[in-house]
Structure 1
Amino acid sequence: MAKLTTIGIDLAKNTFALYGLGPKGQCGWKRKVRRKQLLEQLVRLEPCKVALEACGSSHYWARQIQALGHQVELLPPQHVKGYLRGQKNDYNDAQAIAEASEHGRIRPVPLKGAEQ
């Protein structure tokens, strides 16, 4: 497996889609994992940037992923939509999140602490 620089995660109720980008922006891998398996999957990877769309549960997941040593970025959903290609599905959403994060021109949403 090639070294991953950015992982986009599309959060859902039961299964999450993960899309990893390599150093040149190419697809490193894509996975679909259950809610319980997400942190197990990410702990095996070298620290990299993990991008999520900002929503109610994304702040919780961002804190958990950050504790594993990854750099977490929450992106506003309205800005990610412009990077979506093809039909809307979990993998395409995760790819759009990863590419929006790689582009670097979107201002991330500040991460909220547990008490907020």
Structure 2
Amino acid sequence: MSLWIIHYTYDTREALRASLLDEHQWYLAGLADAGAMIAYGRFDDQAEPGSLLIASAPTKQHVEDLLAEDPYIIVGAVADISIRPWDGHLGPLWHDTAPAPPLS
């Protein structure tokens, strides 16, 4: 599996995202439980509203397919999405506790 860095840039519809926050977080938690999402979270600074996600998937298309089901994406509450391959390394703690990646 390859690792992918995903950057969401949010639009100005904060109320819409707030109304979908639980669904969005449950969706990402489900991907994490399946081994497809390693980490996710919003930026806490005010520089640019958005979030960072780290996924494990065989291809960029697979990542795009996973993100297409995110409630934030479905309603169009994300202004821009950047998906980049990442040749990063995960620490031993993640390796020791992470579920096996899903079979494709």
- Same structural fold, with TM-score higher than 0.5 when normalized by the shorter chain: no
| Structure-1-length-normalised TM-score | 0.30
| Structure-2-length-normalised TM-score | 0.32
Considering fraction of residues, name the structure with more strand.
2
Structure with the bigger RCO (C-alpha within 8 Å, sep 6+) is 2
Task: Give the structure with higher Rg (CA).
Answer: 2
